[in-house]
Amino acid sequence: MTRQLLFLSLILCLAASCRSGKKKVHIPKGDAELTNTYWRLYEMNGKPIATPADARDVFIRLNSKKGMLEGFAGCNGIGGKHSEGRHGTILFEPITTLMACDDRMDIEQYLLRSLNKANRYIINDKHLLLYNDNLLLAVFEAKYYK
C-alpha cells in the first residue's frame, strides 16, 4: 500500500510540474479596467464581429495617464482623446483616419460613428458597453496578453 501511495504521489508531482511549464494567460477577476485594457470590438449593431484569419483585430485602448485613445478600426489606425466623467460618462474627441480601404470600411465607419456618439459606458465583467444615452452602440471584449 505504501508503494502505491508513493507511486501515486510521484505521478501527481510530475503532472503538476508539466502543467507549470505552459504559458499562463492573465485574466483578472471581476470587472476589467476601462483604461490600459486592450478592448477588441466584439459586437456592433447587435451582430458579432469576427476577425478574418488574415486581418488584425478592431480594437481600442484608452491611456489613463494621457487621456488618449489609440486603436485600429479595420483599415486605419485611430487616435484621439477621451475623458471620463462621473457615473460612467465618457466622451471621445474627434477621431481621424487617413485612407479608404476596400475591406472592412463598414466596420470602421460604424466604430467611428459609435465613438463620436458615445456618452456613457458600462463594464460588465470583461465586456465594455458603449451607449448613447440608453442606445447600445458597441460592445468590446477585454483581451489580455502576458
Total-model pTM: 0.76
pLDDT of residue 12: 41
pLDDT of residue 116: 95
Q: Which three cell numbers stand for residue 115?
A: 465613438
CB < 8 Å & 24+ apart, contacts of 88-94: 88/120, 88/121, 88/122, 89/119, 89/120, 90/34, 90/118, 90/119, 90/120, 90/121, 90/130, 91/118, 91/119, 92/116, 92/118, 93/69
Residue-wise pLDDT for 62-112, tens only, equals 998 889 999 999 989 999 999 998 889 999 997 777 787 877 888 999 999
| pLDDT of 11 over the 50 cut | no
Q: Average pLDDT, stretch 44-60?
A: 91
Instruction: Report how far residue 71's alpha carbon sits from residue 69's, in angstroms, rounded to the nearest whole number.
Output: 7
Per the prediction, the chain carries an average pLDDT of: 82
Domain 25-143 has CATH 2.40.128.270: yes
Instruction: Report how far residue 9's alpha carbon sits from residue 40's, in angstroms, rounded to the nearest whole number.
Output: 43
pLDDT of residue 34: 94
Q: Domain extents for the chain?
A: 25-143
